[in-house]
Structure formats: C-alpha cells, structure tokens
Structure 1
Amino acid sequence: MKLFQRSTPAITLESPDIKYPLRLIDREIISHDTRRFRFALPSPQHILGLPVGQHIYLSARIDGNLVVRPYTPISSDDDKGFVDLVIKVYFKDTHPKFPAGGKMSQYLESMQIGDTIEFRGPSGLLVYQGKGKFAIRPDKKSNPIIRTVKSVGMIAGGT
C-alpha cells in the first residue's frame, strides 16, 4: 500500500481523433455579446488535458450542416470537472457584411443547460513545455522542434 501516492487525474481529451460530447452546465453573461460557457467533464475528477498552446474544436449539426470551430478554453488543467470557454456571440443582423451572424456562436447561445456539444482535441502545432521551452511542429505530420526562449511577448486577440 502506498500512503503518499499522488493520483493522476483522468484526462478527457485522450485522442484528437475522438469527439467527446460535453454537457453545458452554466452560462454567464459577460457583456451584451460575450458569454462564458461552462461544460461538465465526464466526472468531477476529470481534467480537460489540453496542453498550453493547443486548442479544441467544437462541432455541431446546424441547419443540417456540420459546423466546426476552434476555441481556446480559459480554464486550465488545475480545474477539475469542467471546462470554460469565453465566446463572443455574433448575432444576426448586427454587422452588414455578415447578416447571418456567427453560426457556432449563435448555436452556443441557443443551447439549454443540459444540452451537449462535441469537443475534439488537443489540436495545434505548438506546445509550451514550461521554463521557456516550446515544442513546435512545422506541420501536423512532423516531429516537434524544441526551441528555448528567454522572453515571450503575447498579444490577446480574436477574429
């Protein structure tokens, strides 16, 4: 018997090729067009398992078509049992160039608590490994190249 064994949390995103249906458990209004969506992981002990620098894809059938969009959660693997996404909702008839608005963001806005949506990941070509070390793949099929940097500049943005 091991008295001081650290248990490793269960990871939700076991394979980037599998779609994981996650249930909406909370929605918070951040502003007139921005929401925080909280989805339950398979158990309260699960973490998402998304490396820093990677993103997930949400997919849903909307008006008979498969719609897939990338997102980066704001929660981390320190958070057990849930994953949070902050998303700007592009409502229809608010921008003249995009009269239909955003398909996925409006779909998320229309979801009821308890509804599910499919998550897939991790995805991306860059993983931050800590202490200035990055693993960067030139393309999806290549092995990563390790780069170490002294400082990192970041710009927060969106579409």
Structure 2
Amino acid sequence: MSFFGFTEGIPQFIRDHPYPIGVATALGAIFLSAVYTYKRRRSKGCLDPTEFKEFRLIKKTQISPDTARFKFALPTPTSVLGLPVGQHVLCKGKDSDGEDVVRPYALITGDFDLGYFELVVKMYPGGAMSRNFMELREGDYLPVKGPKGTYKYKPGQVRAFGMIAGGSGITPMFQIIRAILKNPKDKTKVHLIYGNRTANDILLKEDLDGFAEQFPNRFTVYYVVSEVSEKIQIASSL
C-alpha cells in the first residue's frame, strides 16, 4: 500500500468531525501514524532468514589477483537488504558434483546503501563455493539467505575498537567500521591493524585510506605485510 493509501479517508473524517481543534489533533495523529507505518513497511528488508532468495549481479570488479568485489541489485532502487551491522549472510552454489554448497559471507555494505549490496570474496583454487564466484558473470543470480549470526553492533556500544584483520578477514570489520563512520552520532573510535602477505594483497585499501583521511580523529589504520620490497614500507599509519 502506498503512503497515500493510508490518508485517503481523511476527507470523510473531516465531514464527520466538524470541530477544528479536535480535527487538527486527530489529523495530526493520523498523519504521524501513517508516516510511521509507511516507513516501517518501506524499510522492511529483502532478506529471508529461512529461505534463499536470488539477487542479480550487476557489477564484478577484480581487486586483487584472487579476490573480486561483487555488487548485487535489490528489487527496487530504494530497497534495503535488511542486514543488521555485525551479521552475515549465507550464499548457495553448486560443487563440482552438482551438490548444494553453502558458505557464510560478510557484506561490506549496510542498510544505508539503498538498492544494492556488495560482497568482497577471496576465491581459493579448488574451493567449492569459490568456483561459483569465479564463474559468476554480470546478469547471473546468486541465492542468498539471512541474516545470520548472534552479534549486532549498536552505536556507542564501546568507546573504541581495536581491530586486527588478515586478508579477506577484513570484510566483517569493514562493515562495522563503515557503519560507525557513516553515523555522525556515533563517536566510537577505531584502530585497525591489517596484515597481508604482500602490498598487492591489501583489500579495500582505497576505501580504508579514504576513511583515514576523512575521519582522522575517529579512524586509524596500520598496514603490515610479510613480504616487502625496498620500495614500500612494512607498516604505515594514516
């Protein structure tokens, strides 16, 4: 039902209640109730915790030799996925024998991103689910179910976060970091140590550097690599 559907009975209500003050008060209550109900319906997420729903891949970007960023469309440009910050989804594919395979993945987007969601996935040679992501092309569909997990981040939950991530383990932390920094009312500070084998393996570096530059008093990142050339630093703080 549209927002206007909630208010279509107002003209008849005015005819039945000719007292100005009472009408104004009642109309205000009706309007606020309509807005509240409409927003609740509008913000209902697209995920189903019990059944897989298919989402169309609209963009696939290779961000490292073995990792890609996948962007999936939601049903409408204003749809939200409905994933609490700190939780994850289950993705389903087929293994080499045609049997179902299900794996958990953390998103890098949140419900403040309307109309789409994104995954960053490291694809391992011989990995049952990795094979599906390797073969996934723009226009293909991926079955997704959720939300899953027991942890839900709440703004102001702690004064500061100290995070240590390695490789693709950055994704669940990135989701929380982004949600904190996107919320001007959340004053939580984040200090991240992010380790990788080489500088080329650092995922989402452009995004992380952008956060550090935009929020210097709220976010700090240190990059650490185990294999280093003379041309780069082993660790850096922004």
In structure 2, what is the Cα distance between the partners aligned to 1:89 and 1:49?
Answer: 26
Partner of 2:58: 25
1:51-101 Cα offsets, whole Å, 9 max, x none, are 01110000112331110000000011111111100111113xxxxxxxxx2
Matched, 1:115 2:140: yes
Higher RCO structure (Cα 8 Å, ≥6 apart): 1
Q: 1:90 aligns with which of 124, 127, 137?
A: 124
> Is the 1:47–1:80 Cα contact (8 Å) retained in structure 2?
yes
> Is the 1:10–1:45 Cα contact (8 Å) retained in structure 2?
no
* TM-score, structure 2 as length reference: 0.51
In structure 1, what is the Cα distance between the partners aligned to 2:115 and 2:160?
Answer: 33
**What does 1:43-62 align with in structure 2 at a 5 Å threshold?**
43-62=76-95
Q: 1:66 aligns with which of 75, 94, 100?
A: 100
Output the amino acid matched with 1:106: R
> Is the 2:94–2:132 Cα contact (8 Å) retained in structure 1?
no
What is the deviation of 1:150? 4.0
What is the deviation of 1:129? 2.2
* TM-score, structure 1 as length reference: 0.74
Larger radius of gyration: 2
1:8-40 Cα offsets, whole Å, 9 max, x none, are 434111x31021111111100101111001111
In structure 1, runs of 5+ residues without a counterpart are 92-100, 133-148
Task: Look up the SS of the partner of 2:119 in the other structure.
Answer: strand
Structure 1 runs (4+) greater than 2 angstroms displaced = 5-10, 149-159
> Is the 2:92–2:100 Cα contact (8 Å) retained in structure 1?
yes
Identity of aligned residues (%): 42
In structure 1, what is the Cα distance between the partners aligned to 2:136 and 2:105?
Answer: 17
In structure 1, what is the Cα distance between the partners aligned to 2:57 and 2:112?
Answer: 20
In structure 2, runs of 5+ residues without a counterpart are 1-6, 8-30, 170-238
Aligned length: 133
In structure 1, what is the Cα distance between the partners aligned to 2:131 and 2:100?
Answer: 14
Q: 2:149 aligns with which of 98, 108, 124?
A: 124
Structure with a larger share of its residues in strand = 1
